[in-house]
Amino acid sequence: MSLGKRRGSAWLGRALIASGVLHAGLIASLWIASSRGDEVPPLKVYAVNIVSPPPAAAGEPQPGESAAVPEPTPVAEPEPTPPAPVPEPTPPAPTPPLRPAPRPEPSPPARPTTRTAPPEPRRQPAPAEP
């Protein structure tokens, strides 16, 4: 067993660096685009003087003159027509009976599995005595 980096950690490091570079580029491009925006044109300002007489000088409120409006003549409503009779629905044509689905063939019985013998362990050479 090696004590070094795993095989997948190299890909993880590259992916992390690529993600950081892409995010930094995206943030930088958004910042540059927002700083180069056109200036908003100045708004036009108009001075308006609203003058109304004080309440005491205005006097009593005067009712407005209304023009004589003739009353409309009532229009007789026509009698509603009775709804047309709805024909009774015809029963659907009988359908032929469905055939039962064919039964699937039974699967063959399970066969017992055999185990293979584990490989023999390697023998270490005996240490040489000094």
| ∠ CA 26-28-30, rounded to 5° | 70
- Does the global pTM surpass 0.85? no
In one-letter notation, the amino acid at residue 104 is P
Identity (one letter) of the amino acid at 65? E
**Model confidence band, residue 57 (pLDDT cutoffs 50, 70, 90):** low
Number of residues in the chain = 130
- Return the residue matching tokens 């064919």: 102
Angstrom CA distances, 7 to 2, 3, 10, 11, 14, stand at 11, 12, 6, 8, 12
Question: Which pLDDT score, from 0 to 100, does residue 26 have?
Answer: 98
Does the pLDDT value for residue 3 go beyond 60? no
Predicted pLDDT of residue 62: 74
Average pLDDT in the 97-108 region? Answer: 81
